[in-house]
Each structure stands twice: as C-alpha cells, then as structure tokens.
Copies of this chain bind each other. A is one copy, B any other.
Amino acid sequence: MENKTRPETNLKSLAITLLVGVIIWFIPTPSGVSGHAWQLLAIFVATILGLIIKPLPLGGVAIVGITMTALTGTLSISQSLSGFSNSTIWLIVSAFFISRGFIKTGLGRRIAYLLMARLGKSSLGLCYGISLADLILAPAIPSNTARCGGIIYPLLASVAKAYGSDPEQGTERKLGAFLIKSAYQVNMITSAMFMTAMAANPLAVKLASDQQIQISWGSWAIAAAVPGIVSLLTLPLLLYKLYPPQIRATPQAAQIAHDKLKEMGSVSTQEWVMLGVFVLLLVLWIGGSTLGIHSTTAALTGLAILMLCGTLSWTDIIQEKGAWTTLIWFSALVMMADYLNKLGLIGWFTHSISGSVNGLNWELAFLILALVYLFSHYLFASSTAHVAAMYGAFLSVSIAVGTPPMLAALVLAFFSNLMGSLTHYGSGPAPVLFGSNHVAMKHWWGLGLLCALVNILIWLVIGGSWWRVLGLW
C-alpha cells in the first residue's frame, strides 16, 4: 500500500506559473472590466500556462485552478464546480468509455485486420486500408492516442517486423518508417473530421457556443467530409512519393491479417453488441437534431446498453483513466471560459479589438489569424492547452474582422487538429509513434511541415469551395 513518492511537482514551472498569475492579479484592472473578471483572468492564464509548462500533470493543474477560483472568492464554490455538469464534457467522457469497448471486444482490431486483408497486398494499399480503419473508428474513439497508438500502431509494428524493418538494425526505411509516418498524418486528419474524434474538439465547440455559434455533431461532420476525404486520399500518396518504402509489395501483410482473423474466430456476441451500439450512435449523432435526442443523451444511451449487455464492466469504466482526467481538466477550462464570458471579459476584449481592426479585408486577416493559430502549435505540447489558450480569443478576433462566425469557428477547430502534424510532441499519439524510432527527427519535422502545408491548401481551397456550397460564407 505504502510507497515512497518521487514528487511530480516541477518547482521551477510552479514558480513561473504562480508568478504570472500573481502579476496579472495585481495589474490595475482596465476600465470596463470588473474586479472579479480580472481575477478570473489571472487564474485562467496561470492555469493555461500550467497546462503548457506543467508544474503538475494536467489533472493536478486543473484541480489547483478550480480550487483557486473558490478559495480567492473570485467565484462561489457552486460556480467553481459548475463545469462538471456540462453536457459537452459528458459527451466526450461517455465516448471515452464507449471506445474501451472497441478495444476490449477486439472489434477495433478486427476492422483494421479486415481492411488490411483486403487492401494490404502493397505498402500503399496497406496504408490506405489502415487509414480507412482509422476513419471508421474515429467518430466513437475520441482519444486519438488510443485509436492510433492503441489499435493502429501495434498492427503496423507487427507488419514492419514481419518484413524485417527494424530501427535497431537500421532497416526502418524498408517499410516501417513510411507506415508509421503516414498513419500519424492520417490520424491528424481523421481527428479533424468528427466532433468526437479528438478530446479537445468538444472544447472548441463549447468555446464557440460561448460566442453564440452552435456547431452540431452533424454539421461538423458534413463540413469536414469533403476536405477530409481529399486529404486522406492525397497525403499517403504524397508520402509514398517523397518518403518511399523500399518494399512495395506486401503480400505477407495481407497474410498476417488473414491469420489473425482466423485466430480471432467468428464475430463474438459482444462484438455484435459493440457494432450495434456504434451504428446506433452514428444514427443518433447524425440525426439527433431531427429526432430531438441530444448528442450526450445518445452517448449515455450507448454506454448504458454496453453496460447492460455486459460488454463493459464497471471495472472497465473505472479504470478508463483518460476519461477521468479529461473530466477534470475539461470541467476546469469550461467553467473558467464560461465565467470569463458571463463576467463580461470576452465582450470587453472583442469590443476593444473591433475598434482597431475595422476596415481590414476579412479574407486576408482571417488567413493570417488561422495560420498564426496553426503554426503557434510549435510551442505547444498538447492540443488541449492550445485550444484552451488561443481558440476563444482567435475566434473572437476573427469575427471582429468580419469573418463569417460559423466559418471561423469551424476552420479554427479543424486547424486545431491539423496542426498536430508539425512536431513529435504536439499531439497524443506523436510520442508513441515517434518513440518507435522508425522516423528520424529531421524527417518527422520536415515531412510534418510539408503535410501541414498541403493540408492547409486542401482545407482552405477545396474545403473553402465546399463551405461556399454549404452556404457558410
């Protein structure tokens, strides 16, 4: 029971975080801003900074942030805890629990093996097969780390190994390097395509709704579909040309998949239940507004079915650590963003900005804003921290320069995922895949930048045309 602790606290980061919070706290409040709003801003900025420089793990920073809002009297205890009952948070928490079912029942692996058996005879086909598996699983697995690192990566690693592509022997370029790099880039795209495909997406939705922009599950998916599919078709091919695997034919991959499928046997009852719940969820999420069922109610219903059918046990739920961590940080950020808004700070900020950007050409101004938003991801080790720190402000400035609100909200939300391409630390699955040592650092960064640029082009030009068709601008 007892064990010695190696404290997780990084004292230097803690000192910087506290110092920044204290400095902002004592800056004289600008006119037009209430004292409480300014105090909350100080706590908010310190919390975001904490998410970035990590004096404590994510959840710890969030708990300290929540505590400070109540302890300083900036908010009442009920206000401080209000984030925990936010419906967007329970959408993502429920989806985390549900996604455990894909892993536990083996359905996730089965889908991936089926596509690998069908498409895996060449290294490019294998890559597309894996992309399709990622795409299919994306709507119901909001942890892209679980999806890419937990389901896709082990499959690719086993194929690479079967072909003797091993970084320890210097043979990573035979096959592994290409597969790993493409799987990562593909994951950034699938993450951008559904509200429930990445943990921080619903945070963007919530921050947009604070500015009266309501993004539904269906409208996100429709807007992302066309540029998403084009990106999914383009990027593997691009990497295949620029970063080619030495092995082009991979009959063994298809064979491995066949063998694994044989080993797995026929589809189990629990897999059918999982599949049924998955289809039900897609129907309810897509048709939810017509049926009058909230997306969170749909997710809870799926979860309840999985529990009643015994597909997920209470132990599975309670051990799903990512879900609980998300609950905590998400609630802290949503609560602070909510009250910054209610206390008038967002309004004051937008009003201040509006004056100085009047008369700018919005297309150019928004392009610059979106690019700054995306490339500043070089400075972030987490999408969550980046979205929490910058999404709200960039959205409000974008609207102030005249960008159609829904367009601005969606583009910034999509870019919140596509920006993950850039570095080997900027997104959950990056450390897992980069850590396999198949891809050298210079290639990871160089190709990452290139992929980001190609994605920007595809999403702004082809996406832009599609959004015009949809009437978003």
Contacts and interface: CB of A to CB of B under 8 A. Distances in A.
A63 B304 contact: yes
Contact of A307 (B6, B64, B68, B80): B64
A164 interface: no
Contact of A309 (B7, B296, B314): B7
A326 B80 CA distance: 20
B90 A310 contact: no
A234 interface: no
Interface in A76-102: 76-78, 80-87, 90
Nearest to A79: B85
B5 A311 contact: yes
Contact of A317 (B59, B86, B310, B311): B59
A352 interface: no
Interface residues of A, number: 64
A60 B307 contact: yes
Interface stretch (A103-111, A205-213, A404-412, A450-458): A103-111
Contact of A77 (B59, B63, B81, B87): B87
B297 A8 contact: no
A2 to B, nearest CB: 5
Mostly, the A contact residues are helix
A9 interface: yes
B60 A314 contact: yes
A347 interface: no
Contacts of A289: none
A158 interface: no
Interface string A2-44: 1101111100001000000000000000000000000000000
A78 B87 contact: yes
Nearest to A3: B104
A66 interface: yes
A328 to B, nearest CB: 8
A107 to B, nearest CB: 10
Contact of A270 (B5, B66, B103): B5
A5 B60 contact: no
Contact of A85 (B55, B68, B82, B300): B82
B2 A106 contact: yes
A310 B80 CA distance: 24
A80 B8 CA distance: 36
B5 A313 contact: yes
A342 B111 CA distance: 48
A82 B90 CA distance: 11
Contacts of A253: none
Given A58-B314, A294-B70, A307 B5 contact: no
This chain: how many copies in the complex? Answer: 2
A244 interface: no
A284 to B, nearest CB: 10
A77 B70 CA distance: 26
A310 B1 contact: no
A32 B7 CA distance: 59
Contacts of A167: none
Contacts of A318: 59, 321, 324-325
Contact of A304 (B64, B80, B106, B319): B64
A67 B303 contact: yes
Contact of A8 (B55, B59, B66, B314): B314
Contacts of A309: 7, 9
A11 to B, nearest CB: 10
B270 A300 contact: no
A57 interface: yes
Contacts of A214: none
A311 B5 CA distance: 7
Interface of A: 1-3, 5-9, 14, 55-60, 63-64, 66-68, 70-71, 73, 76-78, 80-87, 90, 103-106, 109, 150, 270, 292-294, 296-297, 300-301, 303-304, 307-311, 313-314, 317-319, 321, 324-325
29 contacts: A1-B150, A2-B106, A5-B310, A7-B311, A7-B313, A8-B310, A9-B307, A9-B309, A14-B308, A56-B308, A58-B314, A60-B307, A60-B308, A63-B304, A64-B304, A64-B307, A66-B300, A67-B297, A70-B300, A71-B300, A73-B292, A77-B296, A81-B86, A81-B87, A83-B85, A84-B84, A84-B85, A318-B324, A324-B324
User: 5 shortest A-B CB distances, which residue pairs?
Assistant: A7-B310, A57-B314, A85-B85, A84-B84, A67-B300
